[in-house]
A and B are shown apart, each in its own frame.
Chain A
Amino acid sequence: MRVDMFENIWSYRELFIRGIWVTLALTAVGYIGGFILGLFVGLGKLSKRKWIYYPAKYYVDFFRGTPLLVQILLIHTALIPSLFGHSLGFFVSGSVALMLNSAAYNAEIIRAGIQSIDKGQMEAARSLGMPHNTAMKLIILPQAFRRMIPPLGNELIALLKDSSLVTVIAASDLLYAGKVVAGAYSRFWEPYLTVAILYLILTFIFGKIINMIEKRFSNSYVPSSRKSISSDRRSRTGGDKR
């Protein structure tokens, strides 16, 4: 490893900073979109109506059963050009692919979270005259979300890392910055290590934030008996299922 190589990398810092922003933006759009879509798909998988259940099930099966890399290429090179006649750029393709993919994983998290709530809660709400959707919104989901927070946090970190796959469609994300430098100098240790460390810093920060949210919500429902969220606890955000 050569120290002067890091000076070269430093001269490319704007490319790396831009890469970080692209990675964060792709992750944010993919995750928020994936969460909202995942909520509907997850609820769909709980539906008793077959015409809702089966599309939701096949959706999850497809997006969990095929590689994200293949999905990105399919969307960027086939789906979007055939819908719009031309490419809409890496950001649209990339964030759509990440969104559709994370929706499938989020759907399973959301479905499991809802199913983990005691069925007496739904019965009590229904017995008070609440329609199913009202009971879901006011009684079941607020309780289920607390249980979903740890796996949803893992999903966020997994997505942040998986977003590096968009490099294949020439997205100027963080990994892409490393590739450019590697190509320019034909040196691989320093640029890719830099990329790895930057990803590590990002996942570490995300992990800390998730940890705080988790602590806030895995605590008691009673405000006064909640533990302080600032006290340290071992992070559990390294988990990844892919």
Chain B
Amino acid sequence: MISVRNLHKSFGDLHVLRGIDYEIKEKEVICVIGPSGSGKSTFLRCMNLLEDITKGEVVIDGVKINDPKTNINDIRREVGMVFQQFNLFPHMRVLDNITVSPIQIRKMNKKEAEELAHQLLKKVGLSDKANAYPEQLSGGQMQRVAIARALAMKPKIMLFDEPTSALDPEMVKEVLDVMKQLAVEGMTMVVVTHEMGFAKEMGDRVLFLDQGILIEEGSPSEIFSNPKNERTKAFFSKIL
């Protein structure tokens, strides 16, 4: 579903990604872990071209996304993204945050979009917050709205960029629970995370990145209980 081939990304002289190859299959939950500065977030952001790709290619459903001929807006409609800082639109009610894109981009009519939004809010457990503004919500609630907003475009793939890192500890679970539910429903997900528990439980594959290189890849049990690479071992010895 997503093919990443020889992906390089540089910010000026800083070579953040140094040739990553990986295939993501449909309905897989891929968890990307690694020390900070390893390029995990950049890797994720390259998949919907929030960062332009320096070298190599990313192919989603047979379409090379970093081809100048590709309309990136068409690709992004199919790829939902959830950010560490939520990035809800503060000037809109929760309901409008969710419906704005379906109405503007998918040309859905307002009533239909609002019905969809109410369904999604129910799914993330926030039925009563449709008319609230983001500033009235807790971090965990904001992140769940952000997930609902991304889902409203009916994406085929969901990207999560450290979705629980900015949350108070007691709010992490409510967000992870929503993500688990999505995974169970068969959503293809790429999750950059520090939540090793989530990666262990829900990940189909775990990728360990360090210094812009895919060091090790495998099922959670392989990676967590039996890491082969020294750097992976060193990383786990620090965090676990």
Nearest Cβ distance between residue B47 and chain A, in whole angstroms? 10
Contact call A221/B91, Cβ cutoff below 8 A: yes
User: Contacting B87 at CB < 8 Å: which of A123, A129, A134?
Assistant: A123
- Summed over the interface, the residue pairs from A and B with CB atoms below 8 Å come to a total of 71
A130 within 8 Å of B (CB atoms): yes
A126 and B90 CA atoms in complex are apart in Å by 16
Chain A 215-237 residues near chain B, CB threshold 8 A: 220-222
Distance A121 CA – B104 CA, assembled complex (angstroms): 17
Indicate if B38 sits at the interface (CB-CB under 8 A): no
- Check if B153 sits within 8 Å of A128, measured CB to CB: yes
> Could you tell me the distance between the alpha carbons of A124 and B74 in the complex, rounded to whole angstroms?
15
Q: Decide if A127 touches B80 in the complex (CB within 8 Å).
A: yes
Q: B184 an interface residue at 8 Å Cβ cutoff?
A: no
In the complex with contacts A129-B105, A130-B105, A221-B87 CB distance below 8 A: no
Q: Which of A130, A143, A146, A222 is in CB contact (< 8 Å) with B101?
A: A130
Would A139 and B105 count as touching, CB distance under 8 A?
Answer: no
Please give, as numbers and ranges, the residues of chain A lying within 8 Å of B65 by CB-CB distance.
none
Distance A146 CA – B73 CA, assembled complex (angstroms): 28
- B22 is an interface residue with CB less than 8 A from chain A: no
Indicate whether A78 reaches chain B with its CB closer than 8 angstroms.
no
| Contacts A120-B83, A138-B104; A222 near B136 (Cβ below 8 A) | yes
Q: Is the CB of B85 within 8 A of A128?
A: no
Number of interface residues of B (CB under 8 A): 29
Kindly report which residue of chain B lies nearest to residue A124, judged by CB atoms: B87
Q: Are A127 and B135 in contact (CB under 8 A)?
A: no
Consensus secondary structure, chain A interface = helix
B40 within 8 A of A: no
Task: Check: B147 CB closer than 8 A to any chain A CB.
Answer: no
Q: Which residues of B contact A139 (CB under 8 A)?
A: 89
The verdict on A81 contacting chain B, using a C-beta distance below 8 Å, is no
Q: Mark A129-154, 1 if CB is under 8 A from B, else 0.
A: 11100100011001100100000000
Shortest CB-to-CB span from B80 to chain A, Å, is: 7
- Give the shortest distance, in Å, between B118 (CB) and chain A (any CB): 18
Q: Is the CB of A222 within 8 A of B133?
A: yes
Q: B85's closest neighbor in chain A, by CB? A: A120
Contact A128 B101 (CB under 8 A): yes
Interface residues of B in 104-146 (CB under 8 A from A): 104-105, 132-136, 146
Q: Considering the chains assembled together, what is the distance between the CA atoms of A220 and B76 in angstroms? A: 31
Closest chain-B Cβ to A141's Cβ sits at a distance in Å of 10
How distant is the Cα of A241 from the Cα of B132 in the complex, in angstroms?
39
B50 touches A126 (CB 8 A): yes
Within 8 A of A (CB), among B9-56: 48, 50
Residue of A nearest to B49 (CB): A126
> Which residues of the other chain, B, contact A130 by a CB distance below 8 angstroms?
73, 101, 104-105
In the complex, whether B81 has a CB less than 8 A from a CB of chain A is yes
B: residues with CB less than 8 A from A are 48, 50, 73-74, 76-77, 79-81, 83, 85, 87-91, 100-101, 104-105, 132-136, 146, 149-150, 153
Chain A interface (Cβ < 8 Å from any Cβ of B): 118, 120-121, 123-131, 134, 138-139, 142-143, 146, 220-222
A-B contact pairs, 11 of them (CB 8 A): A118-B85, A118-B87, A123-B81, A123-B87, A124-B83, A126-B50, A126-B76, A127-B76, A128-B80, A128-B100, A220-B133
